């Protein structure tokens, strides 16, 4: 009798996993989102509260840790799936609400819909979020399992047809995997958008007998958490994509480069590697085939520049994490001098879908030149922050206003910064720009790895450009002169501008220097570092002029260009709250009993503004050379 083939072994594995998952269908389950976003909001305490309440009532219900549900604004969150009811998602959980849900829903039959974010539809035995208003715009592929499966249990992934693409590939030839990825025009999701299939083909043709596959999970952009959330929520999807890549190019060894600041991601990925190896999905003779491939984790130390491919490889080899000039490309001479494929977390995560559903299916999503979806961490001044996945070609306006539900507190939109600290800041006139690699590049921004920060009328674009440039300047490895010195001089200029200093030549010098740094830097960190400066100069030039020519900050953000003033008609003689809040004793009582601020002592901390009782609202913030109201009248 011949040995079973990979498909037969997988079919047996799938049947066992589905049998176990379906057996839980008749049991109440509470799925608690425990990715880092949920944990930071108290999800582990919520999980303990559910377990305690269920135990005290003697109920037969499972409390399961799942990953990021995506609606991070409502953390901590949980989905309750009870037989006879559609699964219901609850947010903003605390111990009181947990008690009520257990009392009324788990022990009774009242779902307490008044506390629900949404009643969900059921797809097989798994709930989906199609009932959410933003579900009309989202199309979840690589986030499909996030928030629904237990990332610590490989059977949860296999029951969703996980590793079926690997079994399918192993029954065919390696070149079929490569051909499908090439035909799908899968572009790398790390930011550059280079076609993955072309890179894989170059590595395959590298000629060496030893090749490597590396997953770049060194996600360092401020406000970005896409890759981390995927690894915490659905690590096997990424592993399967890496194994498929290795099969296509003939690699025997792979690494996941994860920054050590992501302990939950490291933990879940290591669990996934161990479980996959135990079931013959990693290691020798994968699924009974002649293909050998294994994975391990390499923990990065947090240097932003190590997100660049050659710097990452240098750090893995024990060298300084500094970029190298290219060619040679990593695909021909990478880790340990061998042909190496290095792709982003999201890039690998798409591969199982492409192998299972085909290149034509993938190209039906998104645009002709940028097929598939885009995953973003939507943060900043937006109502519904979180992790979102939309088809390429979705506009920024749809993403911010339909998916993110617009800006809170009736504030006016000012800008969106897309593509991480090296991305561009786009104004309201660019809101109808479609999200794809080429359209964003034409607008002066980049796709980046998927960070998106929304800003409102209270944000100063000069200060925003200074903030992001300060980050990239600090993270510069210092290897090339343009990046090392150019970003420092640019930062000095921006610091001067935020203090109201500079002259007519300052802005021209800043623009010229930004272009030189962009054109002369070695790696993409230096080449893209000027993007926030160049785009704010292009779209928000008047704000720069106001700082320099008028000595004021229109958004009232830059400390040296604002003052705090107490309006006498609103000030109460009996109230001394502001006096006690001032750390420099800049607030004193006048002879008439009202309060006044000594501007020379004031350090612009805003404590007095926060402390002033709302019924008085006596403290206002102004930007020189504007005068306080009473002096303005005298001047007129």
Question: pLDDT tens digit string along 270-310?
Answer: 999 999 999 999 999 999 999 999 999 999 988 888 888 99
Could you tell me the CATH number of the domain that includes residue 39?
Answer: 3.40.30.10
C-alpha dihedral sign at 43, 45, 46, 47: positive
Instruction: Residue count of the chain, please give it.
Output: 636
Mean pLDDT, residues 513-526: 90
pLDDT of residue 119: 55
Same domain, 453 and 466: no
Residues in Cβ contact with 634 at an 8 Å cutoff, skipping those fewer than 6 apart:
none
Whether 537 is in a domain gets the answer yes
Q: Answer whether the bond into residue 268 is a cis peptide, omega within 30°.
A: no
Looking at 105, 127, 151, the residue that finishes a domain is: 151
Beta strand extents in 488-597 (DSSP E only): 563-566, 587-589, 595-597
* Residue ranges making up the domain that contains 602: 562-635
Looking at 123, 151, 179, the residue that finishes a domain is: 151
Whether 295 is in a domain gets the answer yes
Q: Coil, strand, or helix at residue 305?
A: helix
Same domain, 182 and 225: yes
Whether 1 is in a domain gets the answer no
Record the pTM.
0.91
Same domain, 330 and 425: no
Same domain, 420 and 525: no
Could you tell me the CATH number of the domain that includes residue 512?
Answer: 1.20.1440.230
Whether 258 is in a domain gets the answer yes
From residue 317, give the alpha-carbon distance in Å to each of 300, 492, 525, 571.
12, 35, 21, 65
Same domain, 514 and 601: no
Whether 18 is in a domain gets the answer no
Looking at 418, 434, 459, the residue that finishes a domain is: 459
From residue 186, give the alpha-carbon distance in Å to each of 142, 179, 204, 484, 603.
13, 11, 17, 34, 53
Same domain, 519 and 449: no
Beta strand 587-589 pairing with 595-597: antiparallel
pLDDT above 60 for 546 = yes
Whether 142 is in a domain gets the answer yes
How far apart, in whole angstroms, are the C-alpha atoms of residue 261 and residue 283? Answer: 28
How far apart, in whole angstroms, are the C-alpha atoms of residue 498 and residue 181? Answer: 48
Same domain, 321 and 198: yes
Higher-confidence residue of 130 and 454: namely 454
Higher-confidence residue of 636 and 132: namely 132
Same domain, 326 and 404: no
Mean pLDDT, residues 342-360: 97
pLDDT of residue 118: 66
Beta strand 386-391 pairing with 373-380: antiparallel
Whether 481 is in a domain gets the answer yes
């Amino acid at each position: 009798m011949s040995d079973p083939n990979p498909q037969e072994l997988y079919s047996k594995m799938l049947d066992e996993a589905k049998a176990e998952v379906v057996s839980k269908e008749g049991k109440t389950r509470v799925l608690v989102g425990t990715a880092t976003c949920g944990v930071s909001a108290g999800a582990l305490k919520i999980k303990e509260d559910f377990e305690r309440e269920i135990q005290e009532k003697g109920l037969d219900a499972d409390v399961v840790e799942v990953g990021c549900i995506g609606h991070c604004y409502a953390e901590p969150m949980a989905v309750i799936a009870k037989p006879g009811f559609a699964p219901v998602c609850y947010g903003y959980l605390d111990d009181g609400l947990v008690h009520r849900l257990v009392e009324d829903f788990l022990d009774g039959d009242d779902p307490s819909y008044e506390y629900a974010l949404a009643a969900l539809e059921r797809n097989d035995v798994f709930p989906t979020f199609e009932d959410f208003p933003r579900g009309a715009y989202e199309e979840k592929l690589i986030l499909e399992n996030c928030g629904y499966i237990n990332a610590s249990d490989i059977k949860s992934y296999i029951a969703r047809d996980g590793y079926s693409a690997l079994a399918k590939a192993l029954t065919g030839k390696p070149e079929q995997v490569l051909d499908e990825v090439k035909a799908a025009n899968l572009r790398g999701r790390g930011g550059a958008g280079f076609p993955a299939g072309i890179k894989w083909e170059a590595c395959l043709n590298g000629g060496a007998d030893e090749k490597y596959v590396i997953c770049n999970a060194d996600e360092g952009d401020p406000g970005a958490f896409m890759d981390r959330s995927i690894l915490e929520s659905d690590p096997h999807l990424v592993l399967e994509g890496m194994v498929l890549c290795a099969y296509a190019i003939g690699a025997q060894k792979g690494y996941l480069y994860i920054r050590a600041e992501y302990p939950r991601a490291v933990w879940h990925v290591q669990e996934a590697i161990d479980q996959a190896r135990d079931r013959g999905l990693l290691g020798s003779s994968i699924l009974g085939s002649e293909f050998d491939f294994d994975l391990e984790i390499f923990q990065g130390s947090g240097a932003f520049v190590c997100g660049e491919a050659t710097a990452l490889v240098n750090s893995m080899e024990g060298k300084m994490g500094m970029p190298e000039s290219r060619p040679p490309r990593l695909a021909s001479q990478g880790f340990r001098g061998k042909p190496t494929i290095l792709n982003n977390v999201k890039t690998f995560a798409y591969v199982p879908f492409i192998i299972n559903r085909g290149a034509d299916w993938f190209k039906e999503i998104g645009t002709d030149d940028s097929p598939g979806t885009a995953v973003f961490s939507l943060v900043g001044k937006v109502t519904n922050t979180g992790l979102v996945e939309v088809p390429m070609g979705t506009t920024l306006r749809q993403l911010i206003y339909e998916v993110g539900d617009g800006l809170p507190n009736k504030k006016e939109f000012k800008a969106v910064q897309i593509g991480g600290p090296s991305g561009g800041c786009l104004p309201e006139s660019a809101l109808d720009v479609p999200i794809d690699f080429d359209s964003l590049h034409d607008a002066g921004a980049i796709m980046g790895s998927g960070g998106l920060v929304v800003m409102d009328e209270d944000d100063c674009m000069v200060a925003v450009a200074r903030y992001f440039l300060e980050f990239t300047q600090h993270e510069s490895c210092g290897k090339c002169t343009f990046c090392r010195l150019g970003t420092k001089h640019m930062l000095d200029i921006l610091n001067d501008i935020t203090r109201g200093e500079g002259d007519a030549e300052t802005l021209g010098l800043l623009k010229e220097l930004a272009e030189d740094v962009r054109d002369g830097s070695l790696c993409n960190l230096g080449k893209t570092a000027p993007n926030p400066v160049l785009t704010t100069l292009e779209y928000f030039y008047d704000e720069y002029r106001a700082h320099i020519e008028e000595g004021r900050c229109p958004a009232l953000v830059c400390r040296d260009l604002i003052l705090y003033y107490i309006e006498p008609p609103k000030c109460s003689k009996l109230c001394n709250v502001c006096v006690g809040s001032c750390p420099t004793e800049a607030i004193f009582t006048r002879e008439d009993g009202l309060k006044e601020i000594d501007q020379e002592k004031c350090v612009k901390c805003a404590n007095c503004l926060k402390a002033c009782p709302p019924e008085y609202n006596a403290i206002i913030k102004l930007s020189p050379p504007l005068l306080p109201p009473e002096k303005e009248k005298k001047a007129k």
